[in-house]
Each structure stands twice: as structure tokens, then as C-alpha cells.
């Protein structure tokens, strides 16, 4: 009996050991290995300007510790956010390594840091080129920076990237858009007044039928073939004679093509608008014929001439096609074929010589950084340069021509010299004079048409001086006012410069020296441009001239002790007698100072 019981116990033990896997056999282990951590890391924004910040966002799972490296350091929580401000330009790399029982995982985020864009500002005034009216509500733009003019036509545009050729674009309904090339200096204010040209004519047109659009009394015209315009319903066509010989600033840009100076023989602006007001153009492969009125200060009239269009992206004129000179009942014009519309210009690149000169201040010291511009007298064109560290400059100008040259730096203006070039390089006979640093000078430029041949500038000063062709004044001693440029044979210019203004009121007037009323000052037409305090005002003759009114009293300019200038257009502009000072002369009038 005892033997049987022992056998039963042994058998039961064997079964138990077998069930528990004891005694050998296959290894069937069901245990798991811990998971490696997961990590996410991102930077927002991923691209910043030096000095700005970015936010790092991260999270992790299965992590017991996280450590930062690269552009940041230290222990970090399993998830979180942190604001970082990289200290240098380039790529800042932020790494995060998180570890746990299952190992470690590393992620990284990169923040690209760029140098801040150096900027300056541009201030100026926008005026109607024909009437001199101040234009309110004009849109002013350079790239993404924009503003509008106030009731006085003034604007200040901040945040303009530094550069030698900022493209300042100004637009207003019923005017042609204009563009000036403005140098912008870091953390400094530049000045650039802009003229806008009223649209010459506007007409609706059926694009399917095509047709002609022109300006009454002018040869200016554009002819559209049937179906050439990219529109399916009525379009509005505007056309404007730019008339650059009367006012070179009517032209956008700076009279250059790929860096070479050009002269204009007439220019035209044509714009096309759909019914919803959006701009349109010619269809691809289509052309239209334009007639550009002949308009030049030159005695030369090329029979054929290259056509150039204005590229508002580069601020340069681009040659495309040519035009031939024709004459019709409304005058001479250049006719050519174009494939798109913008400003079109009958131009030619001219032969240049180098004009050298210098700029000096009142004590004879040379002045660097002065911006100089030449303007053709017997051709329609300009060119620009800047005086070097020694106050010297060279500038390309048209060979065998007459021109003026003057300049400015900040609010200070230089004198103006008239120059007759030959076919070889030459040097100015004397340095251009710059006004004193503590006094804002001003210049007055008079231009007119072919007749009368002689129209004269006159300036009355607070101390009783009378600056005109018989008493031209001086810029190096009292009265520090001068008739820099005198002209007696049509067109002008005549330029009066005041470098060191006295406190009090100056009066400027124009005299029809020829006593010729047909045409007179109004219908010549005369045009006066005043530059003061960095801004430009334009004056054109008002109604009221008669055969006996030989004098046009244009404006008074009152100079305060701090050199602030207040400009007052005349309310009684025409007279048969020579105008006088609006107040008693003061021989001891002090010079202004700012």
C-alpha cells in the first residue's frame, strides 16, 4: 500500500515539472524590449532677420531625460516651448536628444538668420507738371513700402532699402504714372520731388473693330488693328504726349539704357484698361502703330530713329524697333510699330565726352558725396554722378553741346554752370559752390519756348539787391545770390541761385524783354521751377496776360530765422510796371541759420 502511494506522488511531480517547462525542452519567452523615445522639434519662423526671435516647439514620448546641444544647451523637459534669438548671421542649428530605457533619439531644427536690410527714407512733393498744382492723395511706392501725399502734396516714405537706384513710383487717377531714380542712404533722408503729367486724351474702343485714338490738335496717335487688343469687351485707351523737351522730369527714369545716356526726340504714353478698370495690352503676336510728336531741343531731326520702351522694373529704357520722321497737318511725328504698351520714346544714344569738375563750400574745402546732374540745353537729356572723397567728379555729357550742371547734398544746393562742350574731354573753369551747412539755399529755373527769344529772370532780395542780367550778383560774397545762367536766344534756361539766404522776403518775377505779345509769356509757354528745402514747386503763367503786361510776378519766398521757407504764389501776377519788394528793404537783414 505504501509503495503504491509513493508511485502516485512521483507521477504527479513529473506532470507538474513537465507543465512548468522544467527539465529542458524549447525556450518560449514572451517578454518585450522597451521602445526607443520619439522626438519632434520645430522652429517658427524658420527664417528671421538678425536680432529677431524664433520659437522652438518640441515633444517626446518614452523619454526620461532630454538634453539640448548645438545653438542651445542644458536639460529640457519632455515637451515644451522656448524662444531663441540667434546672435549671428547664418544657420543656427538646435539639437534635442531624449533618452529612456529603450535608448535615445535626436532631432534638430535650423533657423536661418539673415542680415537686416539697411534702410533710409525719401521725402518729397508731388505736383502737376502743367499747372504746378499740389497733388493730394497720390500713391507713392518703392517696392513694398508705400504711402500717399497729403494736402500739400508732401510725402515721407520710410523703410526704403539702401541703394543707388531706388525706383520711386508715383501714381494718381487721371495722371500718367511717373518713376524717379533716387539714391537712398542708410538711416538718412533723401529728397525727390516728382511731377505728374495729366492724361492727354481718353477714348473707349471696341477691340474687335480696332481703330485710332489721338489727341486733338496734336499728331499724337495710336492705331489698333481689329482684334489686336487682349479684351473681349469695350476698352478705355489713354494717350499722352510726354513733351520731354519742356520738362525732362516728365520722363520716367534717368535717360539711360543699360547705363548709356540717351537723348529724346519725343515720347508717348499709351495705356489700355478693361471695363472693370484692370490694365490690359496687345495680344501676343499683335502690333499697333504709334505716332510720337517730334519734340526736341536739338536742331537735328533724324529721318529714322530707334524706339525705346520704359522698363519700370529696372528703371531703364530698352531699345525695340525704330520709327521714321513724317509730317502731317498737326505737325511732325515719328511713326513706328510696337507690340506692347508703356512709355515709348524716340531716342538715340549720343556720343559723349567726359566733363570734370569739383565742388567746394564757402571756405574753399572740397565736398564729397554731392550728387550732380547735367541737363541739355540744345538736346533733351540728363546724366548724373557723385563727387568723390576729394570733392572731384567726372560725368558723361553729350559732345559738341550746350548744357547746365548743378547738384545737391541733403538740403544744400550748389551753384549752376552753363557749359559748351567740344569733341574732347574738358574741365569746368571753377568749382561749383555749395551753400553753407547752416542755411538752406534755393534755386529758380526759368524755361520757355522758341518765342519770345528773350525772357528774363529777376530776383529782389530782402536787403535791396536786384539780381538780373545787368547785375548778376555773387555766390562767394554778399549778396550770396547770382544769376548763374543767362539766355537770350529762346528756350532758356535762366538759373538764379541763392546759397546763403537772408531773413525776409525775396520776390521773383519774369520780364518779357522782347515786348512781344504774340506769343507772350503765357503762350510761349514759360515755366518756372523753384527748388527750396529739398522740395520742388512749379509755376506756369495764369490767365490775364495782355499786350501791355510785360511782367509776370511769380512768387514771394519768405525766409525765417531758422531758414524755413514759406512760398506764396502771386495773387496779382500781371503788371505793366516792374514789380517791387513787398516790404521796405533792410540792408542789414541777417542771414538765416538752422
pLDDT digits (tens, 9 = 90+) for 264-288: 999 999 999 999 999 999 999 999 9
* Domains of the chain (ranges, CATH numbers): 38-114 (2.60.40.10), 119-196 (2.60.40.1120), 201-349 (2.60.220), 350-430 (2.60.40.10), 435-594 (2.60.60.30)
Query: Rg of the Cα trace of the chain?
Result: 38
* DSSP state letter for 30: -
For the cut 90, the answer to whether the pLDDT of residue 521 exceeds it is: yes
Measure the CA–CA gap between 319 and 509, rounded to whole angstroms. Answer: 42
- Which is more confident, 286 or 9? 286
Write the CB contacts of 500 (distance below 8 Å, at least 6 apart in sequence).
362, 435, 436, 439, 441, 480, 591
Chain centroid offset of residue 497 CA:
26
Averaged over 465-479, what is the pLDDT?
Answer: 94
Chain centroid offset of residue 87 CA:
34
Reported as a pLDDT band with limits 50, 70 and 90, residue 14 is very low
Segment among 30-34, 418-422, 427-431, 581-585 with least mean pLDDT:
30-34
Averaged over 411-440, what is the pLDDT?
Answer: 91
Listing DSSP states for 308-348 in one string gives EEEETTTTEEEEEEEEEEEEETTEEEEEEEESS-SEEEEEE
Average pLDDT, the chain: 93
Reported as a pLDDT band with limits 50, 70 and 90, residue 363 is confident
Reported as a pLDDT band with limits 50, 70 and 90, residue 19 is very low
CB 197 within 8 A of CB 175: yes
Q: What is the pLDDT of residues 232-245, one digit of tens each?
A: 999 999 999 999 99
Reported as a pLDDT band with limits 50, 70 and 90, residue 439 is low
Nearest to 224 by CA among 304, 291, 274, 319: 291
Nearest to 527 by CA among 444, 419, 442: 444
Q: What is the pLDDT of residues 114-125, one digit of tens each?
A: 999 899 999 999
Averaged over 73-86, what is the pLDDT?
Answer: 97
Q: With the CA atoms of 86, 87, 89 and 91 taken in that order, what torsion angle do they form, in degrees rounded to the nearest 10?
A: -40
Averaged over 108-131, what is the pLDDT?
Answer: 95
Write the CB contacts of 22 (distance below 8 Å, at least 6 apart in sequence).
none
User: How much is the pLDDT for 558?
Assistant: 95
For the cut 60, the answer to whether the pLDDT of residue 5 exceeds it is: no
Which strands, in side-by-side order, build the sheet including 54-61? Answer: 38-44, 54-61, 80-84
For the cut 50, the answer to whether the pLDDT of residue 22 exceeds it is: no
* DSSP state letter for 14: H
Is residue 420 helix, strand or coil?
Answer: strand
User: How much is the pLDDT for 30?
Assistant: 54
Specify the DSSP element, H or E, that contains 427.
Answer: strand 426-427
Averaged over 193-199, what is the pLDDT?
Answer: 96
For every residue of 233-256, which 3-state class applies, written as one string? Answer: CCEEEEEEECCCCCCHHHCCCCCE
* DSSP state letter for 542: -
Nearest to 435 by CA among 407, 405, 463, 462: 407
Instruction: Give the rounded percent of residues in the chain with a pLDDT score beyond 70.
Output: 94
For the cut 50, the answer to whether the pLDDT of residue 212 exceeds it is: yes
Amino acid at each position: 500500500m505504501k509503495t503504491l502511494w509513493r508511485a502516485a506522488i512521483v507521477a504527479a511531480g513529473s506532470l507538474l515539472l513537465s507543465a512548468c517547462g522544467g527539465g529542458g525542452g524549447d525556450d518560449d519567452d514572451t517578454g518585450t524590449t522597451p521602445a526607443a523615445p520619439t522626438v519632434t522639434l520645430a522652429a517658427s519662423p524658420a527664417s528671421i532677420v538678425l536680432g529677431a526671435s524664433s520659437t522652438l516647439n518640441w515633444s517626446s514620448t518614452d523619454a526620461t531625460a532630454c538634453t539640448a546641444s548645438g545653438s542651445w544647451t542644458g536639460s529640457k523637459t519632455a515637451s515644451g516651448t522656448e524662444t531663441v534669438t540667434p546672435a549671428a548671421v547664418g544657420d543656427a542649428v538646435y539639437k534635442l536628444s531624449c533618452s529612456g530605457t529603450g535608448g535615445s533619439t535626436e532631432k534638430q531644427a535650423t533657423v536661418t538668420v539673415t542680415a537686416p536690410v539697411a534702410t533710409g527714407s525719401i521725402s518729397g512733393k508731388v505736383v502737376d507738371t502743367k499747372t504746378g498744382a499740389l497733388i493730394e492723395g497720390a500713391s507713392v511706392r518703392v517696392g513694398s513700402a508705400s504711402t500717399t501725399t497729403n494736402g500739400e502734396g508732401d510725402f515721407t516714405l520710410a523703410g526704403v532699402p539702401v541703394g543707388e537706384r531706388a525706383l520711386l513710383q508715383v501714381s494718381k487717377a487721371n495722371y500718367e504714372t511717373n518713376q524717379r531714380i533716387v539714391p537712398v542712404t542708410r538711416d538718412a533722408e533723401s529728397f525727390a520731388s516728382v511731377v505728374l503729367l495729366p492724361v492727354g486724351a481718353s477714348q473707349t474702343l471696341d477691340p474687335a473693330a480696332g481703330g485710332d485714338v489721338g489727341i486733338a490738335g496734336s499728331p499724337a496717335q495710336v492705331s489698333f488693328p481689329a482684334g489686336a487688343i487682349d479684351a473681349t469687351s469695350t476698352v478705355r485707351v489713354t494717350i499722352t504726349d510726354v513733351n520731354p523737351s519742356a520738362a525732362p522730369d516728365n520722363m520716367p527714369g534717368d535717360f539711360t539704357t543699360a547705363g548709356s545716356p540717351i537723348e529724346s526726340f519725343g515720347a508717348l504714353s499709351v495705356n489700355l484698361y478693361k471695363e472693370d478698370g484692370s490694365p490690359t495690352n496687345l495680344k501676343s503676336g499683335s502690333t499697333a502703330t504709334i505716332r510720337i510728336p517730334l519734340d526736341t531741343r536739338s536742331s537735328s531731326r533724324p529721318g529714322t530713329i530707334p524706339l525705346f520702351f520704359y522698363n519700370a522694373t529696372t528703371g531703364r529704357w530698352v531699345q525695340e524697333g525704330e520709327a521714321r520722321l513724317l509730317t502731317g497737318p498737326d505737325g511732325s511725328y515719328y511713326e513706328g510699330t510696337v507690340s506692347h504698351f508703356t512709355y515709348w520714346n524716340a531716342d538715340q544714344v549720343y556720343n559723349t565726352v567726359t566733363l570734370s569738375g569739383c565742388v567746394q563750400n564757402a571756405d574753399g574745402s572740397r565736398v564729397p558725396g554731392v550728387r550732380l546732374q547735367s541737363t541739355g540745353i540744345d538736346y533733351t537729356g540728363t546724366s548724373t554722378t557723385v563727387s568723390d572723397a576729394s570733392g572731384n567728379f567726372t560725368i558723361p555729357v553729350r559732345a559738341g553741346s550746350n548744357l547746365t550742371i548743378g547738384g545737391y547734398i541733403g538740403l544744400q544746393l550748389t551753384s549752376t554752370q552753363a557749359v559748351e562742350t567740344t569733341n574732347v574731354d574738358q574741365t569746368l573753369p571753377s568749382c561749383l559752390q555749395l551753400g553753407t551747412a547752416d542755411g538752406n539755399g534755393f534755386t529758380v529755373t526759368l524755361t520757355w519756348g522758341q518765342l519770345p527769344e528773350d525772357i528774363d529772370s529777376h530776383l529782389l532780395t530782402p536787403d535791396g539787391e536786384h539780381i538780373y542780367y545787368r547785375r548778376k550778383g555773387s555766390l562767394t560774397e554778399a549778396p550770396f545770390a547770382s544769376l548763374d545762367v543767362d539766355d537770350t536766344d529762346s528756350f532758356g534756361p535762366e538759373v538764379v541761385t541763392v546759397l546763403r539766404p537772408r531773413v525776409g522776403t525775396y520776390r521773383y518775377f519774369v520780364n518779357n524783354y522782347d515786348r512781344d505779345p504774340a506769343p507772350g509769356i503765357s503762350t510761349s509757354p514759360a515755366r518756372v521751377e523753384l527748388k527750396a528745402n529739398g522740395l520742388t514747386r512749379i509755376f506756369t503763367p495764369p490767365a490775364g496776360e495782355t499786350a501791355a503786361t510785360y511782367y509776370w510776378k511769380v512768387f514771394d519766398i519768405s525766409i525765417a530765422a531758422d531758414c524755413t521757407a514759406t512760398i506764396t504764389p502771386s495773387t496779382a501776377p500781371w503788371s505793366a510796371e516792374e514789380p517791387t519788394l513787398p516790404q521796405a528793404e533792410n540792408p542789414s537783414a541777417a542771414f538765416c541759420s538752422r
